[in-house]
Amino acid sequence: MAGWKILPAISAGNTIVIKPSELTPSTTLMLAEACTAAGIPDGVVNVVLGPGRSVGQSLVGHSDVNMVSFTGSTQVGVNVMRPAAERACRTHLELGGKAPFVVFDDADLEAAAQGAVAGTLINTGQDCTAATRAYVQRPLFDSFVDRVQTIMQSIKLGDTSSPETDLGPLISTTHQEQVAGMVDRARAAGGKIHCGGEIPADADLRNGSYYLPTLVTGLDQKAEIVQEEVFGPVLVALPFDTEEEGLALANDTRYGLAASVWTTNVFRAMRGVKTIQAGCVWVNDHIPIISEMPHGGYKASGFGKDMATYSFDEYTNIKHVMLDLEGEDEKDWHRTIFRRRTSE
């Protein structure tokens, strides 16, 4: 993620200061070391470590900072934007998401189930584009739930250095508790937990911040786990009847970062792409992001783009220069301002 910002920023001629999350500083430091090894001069890429509440807020409010680009939750994004806005500083925000995964009744069921599990569990679900809300047309709903449950139950948790491991831990035990709390509240609200829904009982995993892949059904559209970002290995599935209903449910969120549509009908796919309010819509896939794809959201998911040629615009000030090539004292457009008088 840091590379998405560093590379276009310095390519556009800027020097930058990057502050990573205080929970994950090492990879950013490694990236800065790689920049130095590649010959980028000292002072072009700078890393500052520390808590967001103090270090981050000081950076975004500093008068020497001409542009702020932030990736994180929507609430923190608002806190970042506030001091920047007070001094009219340009901001680029890539914020939270609640990606809908819309499966129509003509979809390839196996492809959709495999895609749902992969799209939910990427980065242990700690990804703002992760599939979190599966809307499945009713004729396929039960079969989809059964297949996703089977695949999720086959996932192996463990040490990420092992080639046998499918799913690693969450970022911290604090976050593990937050994910578990949201699932517990969904269960208390009447949700059916088809698999997961708890911290692993295995002694080797229990002391880590692991959480089992979780599939939830039986809730309505207004449920907390349907509306709010979980940021964990949790998928909630809801049925729908008509195409219009499915797309309306997909849009019934304050977020608009990413989405996917699953169908074998190209016309239905394009109607979905057109209707869904998100900065990225995949068709018969979910998650792949390549450098040619501009990445950014609608609504409470922020504004501005990472990657592709669009990212250069975020880090560039456009200057208009117009040069007179004729050398004439009087120009036709002068006459639209005042008339030439013979006494002059």
Q: Write down the residue that tokens 């909630």 correspond to.
A: 236
> Which pLDDT band, with edges at 50, 70 and 90, does 341 fall under?
confident
How far apart, in whole angstroms, are the C-alpha atoms of residue 326 and residue 334?
14
Axis-axis angle for helices 138-153, 109-121 (nearest 10): 50
| Active-site residue, selected from the candidate residues 94, 229, 243, 314 | 94
What confidence score (pLDDT) does residue 343 get? 65
Residue 191 has which token pair?
A: 């949700």
C-alpha 216/C-alpha 212 separation (Å) is 12
Tell me: the pLDDT tens digits for 50-63? 998 889 889 999 99
Write the burial class of residue 236 (CB in 10 Å: 0-12 exposed, 13-18 middle, 19+ buried): buried
Inter-axis angle of helices 266-275 and 243-251, nearest 10:
30
Share of the chain above pLDDT 90, in %: 93
Q: Given phi > 0 = left and psi -120 to 50 = alpha, else beta, which region is 263?
A: beta
Which residue spans within the chain are E strands per DSSP? 16-18, 45-47, 67-71, 90-94, 99-103, 131-137, 192-195, 214-217, 234-240, 255-256, 258-262, 280-283, 298-299, 302-303
What pLDDT digit, counting tens, does each position of 7-29 carry? Answer: 999 999 999 999 999 999 999 99
User: E strand or H helix at 296, and its extent?
Assistant: none
Task: Name the β-bridge partners of 214.
Answer: 234
Q: Note whether 164 and 156 are within 8 A (CB).
A: yes
Mean pLDDT of 146-168: 97
Q: How far is CA 42 from the centre of its chain?
A: 31
Question: Strand order of the sheet with strand 67-71?
Answer: 67-71, 90-94, 302-303
Active site residue 128: yes
Q: Is 34 left (phi over 0), alpha (psi -120 to 50) or beta?
A: alpha
Q: Are the C-beta atoms of residues 68 and 43 closer than 8 Å to each other? A: no
231 Rama sector, left if φ>0, alpha if ψ -120 to 50, beta otherwise = left
- What pLDDT sits at residue 52? 85
Catalytic residue among 86, 110, 128, 164: 128
- For residue 169, which of 111, 118, 123 has the smallest C-alpha distance? 123
DSSP tally for the chain: helices H, then strands E: 12, 14
Compute the average pLDDT of residues 104-124. Answer: 98
Tens digit of pLDDT for each residue in 188-208?
999 999 999 999 999 889 889
94 is catalytic: yes
| DSSP character string of 259-282 | EEEE-S-HHHHHHHHHHS-SSEEE
Max alpha carbon distance in the chain (Å)? 100
Side-chain-facing half-sphere of 176: CA atoms under 13 Å: 17
Closest to 71 in 3D by CA, of 93, 91, 49, 89: 93
* Model confidence at 344: pLDDT above 60: no
CA atoms of 211 and 195, how far apart (whole Å) = 11
In tens, the pLDDT along 238-250 reads 999 999 999 999 9
The single-letter DSSP state of residue 245 is: H
Q: Are 24 and 49 in contact (CB under 8 A)?
A: no
CB-CB neighbours of 133 under 10 Å = 23
Q: Go through the domains of the chain in sequence order and give each one's CATH number.
A: 2-94+309-314 (3.40.605.10), 99-283 (3.40.309.10)
Q: Is 319 exposed, middle or buried (0-12, 13-18, 19+ CB in 10 A)?
A: exposed
Q: Which two tokens stand for residue 179?
A: 């994910």
Burial of 272 (0-12, 13-18, 19+ CB in 10 A): buried
Q: At residue 106, does pLDDT exceed 90?
A: yes
